[in-house]
A and B are shown apart, each in its own frame.
Chain A
Amino acid sequence: MTAADPFQINSLQIDGAGIRFTNIEKRYGGLFALRRVSLDVAEGECVALAGRNGSGKTTLLRIAAKLVRPSSGEVQYTWQGDQDCATPRTGFVAHATMVYDELTAEENLLLFARLLGIDAPAVLVDRLLDEVGLAERRASLVRTFSRGMRQRVAIARALLQQPQILLLDEPSTGLDPEGVAWLANTLRKLHDAGCTLLMSLHGESPISALATRAVRLDSGAIVADARGAADIRGILAFAGA
């Protein structure tokens, strides 16, 4: 799969990628957001990060996206395919939508596609708008969208470069049950295609059913790490309590 191919989620084949966090610490003044976090996310894994508000999930995801520099420790990426880039192709769906309200859905996606250097961006954007169910609202300004529709644009933006690693920070925020089911289905297809998923979640949902592993953070430290279905449910249920 190359970044130039038009996006067809059902026929995607994504080169695998993994992330290794080693002794990551993040301090804001005297406050520890993360304490010596070491986590090895293997290629093709779907890891759910759980924990109460302020436990460090978002910080860890932003460090993985290289948006935040850790105070100490190291983040390493392993990936197949094009090794000329410094990191694998990484998509990020954050709490905020990360799209412009003053631009239309199509303009937003075209903007980011052009910045990413994607060939024939218009074709890809057409497919993605179709994929996220916004083809008919392509020419509407994002500020006229509901929260759920904005989230769909945000997800389309994150999928522009067919990410090898997809980071999601509470991705179901603002989505109605139908939207959550659609997102779970989309993520399942991406995961099946080989995309590595690292996502923060609150409690159980159709999305959490995708997790092949769950990690619970508490006060910036990893306090539980499980792979079995029952243990994953236990961690997510505990975190969502």
Chain B
Amino acid sequence: MPLLANTAVLLGKELRTEFRSRELLMTTVIFILMVIVLFSFTFDPTSAESRRFGAGLLWLAFLFAASLMLQPCFLREQNNDTLSALRLAVSDPFAILLAKLAANTLFLLLTELLMLPVFAVLYNVPVLPVFGQLLLVFFLGSLGVSVAGTALSAISAQARMRELLLPLLLLPLLTPVLVASTQVTASLLDVAPFVQWKGVGFLAVFDIVFLTALWLFGEYLLEE
């Protein structure tokens, strides 16, 4: 299938360029680390306190870090007009978006997993017993952030005041993802952890709806 083959080739390119420059990963890791460390000094991170605030804090840090990560996603393609070269080469432009989306999700997930042990130690919250469930929430939340973020990054890259436009559009749009992810994560960090399936379902539906919209209208996002 040309779509999947092209997506795989483009994902390989995204990974190669990122692991060569480490621009996005370094920025997001440092940002999240700073937020987690700074907030650990602002209140006494007892276990009970952390269980109340931790999830919200973690997802706010992820969301702002994601907006930093998504900004250069399409801007990088404008430096040498490589987006035009990609559009000329692929048979289905959705492959370009799919590869960007997969790479963003992967980078975000990797950052989250790197930061989770730091969070667990600094905030005195045991995460190992619910690691599998947390991974599911992180994946669904990150996918939601990446789907909407990739689309908006493509739009804002061609606009004036692009640095301002992306967070302005992204943050309100992702509020439902932030709320649902925070609620599900909080339920997992509870003294008696449980999976809030309603929130998980909402995240899954959000991802599917936005992914479908991206598939239907993605071609127009890439046009000049």
Q: Which residues of A contact B (CB under 8 A)?
A: 62, 65-69, 90, 92, 94-103, 107, 111-112, 114-117, 157
Contacts and interface: CB of A to CB of B under 8 A. Distances in A.
Interface in B56-96: 79-82, 84-91
Contacts of A101: 79-80
A116 B10 CA distance: 12
A102 B89 contact: no
A102 B23 CA distance: 12
A157 B85 contact: yes
B40 to A, nearest CB: 36
Given A102-B20, A114-B5, A157-B85, 18 more contacts: A62-B84, A66-B88, A67-B88, A68-B224, A90-B88, A97-B80, A98-B82, A99-B80, A99-B82, A100-B13, A100-B82, A101-B80, A102-B17, A103-B13, A111-B13, A112-B89, A117-B2, A117-B91
A154 B195 CA distance: 53
Contacts of A69: 223
B9 A114 contact: yes
Contacts of B6: 115
Contact of B80 (A68, A100, A112, A117): A100
Contacts of A96: 79-81, 84
A94 B81 contact: yes
B86 A115 contact: yes
Say whether chain A's binding surface is mostly helix, strand, loop, or mixed. Answer: loop
B160 to A, nearest CB: 13
A206 B31 CA distance: 54
Contacts, number: 64
Interface string B13-25: 1001100110000
B87 A67 contact: yes
Contacts of A157: 85
Say whether chain B's binding surface is mostly helix, strand, loop, or mixed. Answer: helix
Contacts of A97: 80-81
Contacts of A111: 9, 13
Contacts of B5: 114, 117
Given A67-B224, A107-B16, A112-B89, A92 B9 contact: no
Contacts of A67: 84, 87-88, 224
A69 B79 CA distance: 22
A38 B10 CA distance: 37
Contacts of A66: 88
22 contacts: A62-B224, A65-B84, A65-B88, A66-B88, A67-B84, A68-B224, A92-B84, A94-B81, A96-B80, A97-B80, A98-B82, A99-B80, A99-B82, A102-B16, A103-B16, A112-B85, A112-B89, A114-B5, A114-B9, A115-B10, A115-B86, A157-B85
The CB with the most chain A CB atoms within 10 A, among B5, B20, B224, is that of B224
Contacts of A116: 89
Interface in B78-122: 79-82, 84-91
B31 to A, nearest CB: 22
The CB with the most chain A CB atoms within 10 A, among B6, B16, B82, B91, is that of B82
Nearest to A85: B91
Contacts of A68: 223-224
A3 to B, nearest CB: 13
A69 B81 CA distance: 17
B101 to A, nearest CB: 17
A98 B84 contact: yes
A100 B17 contact: yes
